[in-house]
Amino acid sequence: MKLNQNFFRLEDDYLFSKITEKTEDFSKKNPGVDFISLGIGDTTLPLCETVIRAMQKAVDEMSRKKTYRGYGPEHGYFFLREAIANYYKKRQVSLSPFEIFVSDGAGRDIADITELFDRKSKVLTIDPAYPAYKDACIIDNNEIIFLKTSEKNNFIPVPDYDIDCDIIYLCSPNNPTGAVYDKKTLEKWVDYALKKNAVIIFDSAYEAFISDEDLPRSIFEIENAKKCAIEIASLSKTAGFTGIRCGYTVISDELVFQDHKINELWRKRQSIKSNGLNYITQRGAEAVFSREGQKQIKSAICYYKKNIKVISSSLYSLGIWVFASSNSPYVWAKCPHNMNSWEFFDIILQKAHVIVTPGEGFGKSGKSFVRLSGFTGKKETLEAVNKIKNLKLTKDFSRFA
């Protein structure tokens, strides 16, 4: 027996373990210090009332013989897939419930989807980005091409026709930068994918954070995208389902490669290798898409986005360059005085007792940025921001000035 050697090419959860290590180390030397974390990539507000009620009702149904349910449909109950299809209809995207696959989260679909493609596929990912794209490809031993982004292109890359590839991972709004692709840019990507005979894996985990009506929330708002793209969405950040778990993957009937419908391949793959999602959660997810549910999740999203405003305006007033996106729960800030992200992390940790996420953890192009999250409580966010504001940019950073 031989192990899959690709596992040893993965960076060992390096980012978050190094953050913990540095924080604990500082704590040991300075006992009694309280930290506030603006590094959270997880929701913190409770599930909304409509969702809770729907789930409680589903639990009750499970307690009675007459309404009890055993194994459910593998790809999700029809009521949920229909609710999702109706959600898309509001954006003028017409989908059949059979083009929607419910899962227990986007994270696994992002990694599992590569199973449909040849092991020698060339994968294009954006740098910086969510590390799961890269890690899934490392395990599969795919060739990875990193397309760099920076403040010069507002962290939105345009396709380069000189680069050939088979699989393209795009995420909008992007984690960590918060950059959102506009229609024109997405049209370019669709055109590029069709010309290269490549497939786009579109991660729309943060689509609900887009408030600008002109910006696309689904790649299927772009003409011909159904012929080249798969969309992977999640209720994690949208509705606080990070612990409850629910995501969905959309594959149109029109997505065909080498005379095979990708929809059918995924159906087969999921029937064999996934367990589906429990009834109770699916009733909760259905409630997210109801009118009342949509109203209630928006109020949580607004809460997180208010935190973002507070963070970005105070960094800005300090003279720190921030990539301000009003469509994301994250602030992407440039480290002052040409510091790298770990140096800036150290100073904020040691002088302000605030934890941020070094951009380097999301790729090489993130090395002079940090990510600050709006998922922390309002009170803690204000406190953290005040501590950061008290930093004297020239004195505390004198080593770098």
Q: Does 177 bind ligand PLP (CB under 6 A)?
A: no
Q: How far apart are CA 87 and CA 97, in angstroms?
A: 11
Q: Does 39 bind ligand PLP (CB under 6 A)?
A: no
End-to-end CA distance of the chain: give it in Å, rounded: 55
Task: For Cα atoms 360, 157, 358, give the angle at the middle one, nearest 5 degrees.
Answer: 15
Nearer to ligand PLP, 344 or 362 (CB): 362
Nearer to ligand PLP, 23 or 172 (CB): 172
Using only the alpha carbons of the chain, give its radius of gyration. 22
Give me the least distance between CB of 32 and ligand PLP, in Å please. 33
Among 99, 140, 166, 203, binds ligand PLP (CB under 6 A): 203
Give me the least distance between CB of 329 and ligand PLP, in Å please. 9
Q: Please, are residues 201 and 167 in contact by the beta-carbon 8 Å criterion?
A: yes
- Does 97 sit behind a cis peptide bond, omega within 30 degrees of 0 on the bond before it? no
Q: Does 236 bind ligand PLP (CB under 6 A)?
A: yes
Q: Does 175 bind ligand PLP (CB under 6 A)?
A: yes
- DSSP β-ladder status, 247-251 and 229-234: antiparallel
Residues from 341 through 360 that contact ligand PLP (CB under 6 A): none
DSSP letter for each residue of 202-232: EE-TTGGG---TTS-SSGGGSTTGGGTEEEE
Nearer to ligand PLP, 236 or 294 (CB): 236
Considering only the stretches 17-25, 92-100, 234-242, 324-332, report the one whose residues sit in contact with ligand PLP under the rule CB under 6 A: 234-242
Q: How far apart are CA 129 and CA 114, in angstroms?
A: 17
Give me the least distance between CB of 397 and ligand PLP, in Å please. 30
Which x/- pattern over 91-110 shows residues binding ligand PLP (rule: CB under 6 A)?
--------------xxx---
Nearer to ligand PLP, 171 or 288 (CB): 171
Q: Please, are residues 198 and 167 in contact by the beta-carbon 8 Å criterion?
A: yes
Within 13 Å, how many C-alpha atoms sit on residue 112's CB side? Answer: 20
Among 75, 237, 283, 371, binds ligand PLP (CB under 6 A): 237
Size (the chain), residues: 401
Nearer to ligand PLP, 134 or 353 (CB): 134
Q: Does 242 bind ligand PLP (CB under 6 A)?
A: yes
Element of type H or E holding 288? helix 279-288
Give me the least distance between CB of 66 and ligand PLP, in Å please. 33
| Secondary structure class of 384 (helix, strand, coil) | helix
Helix, strand, coil abundance in the chain, percent, nearest 5:
45, 15, 40
Amino acid letter for position 275: N
# of chain residues touching ligand PLP (CB under 6 A)? 13
Q: Does 50 bind ligand PLP (CB under 6 A)?
A: no
Among 97, 159, 216, 247, binds ligand PLP (CB under 6 A): 247
- Residues in contact with ligand PLP by the rule CB under 6 A: 105-107, 130, 171, 175, 203, 205, 234, 236-237, 242, 247
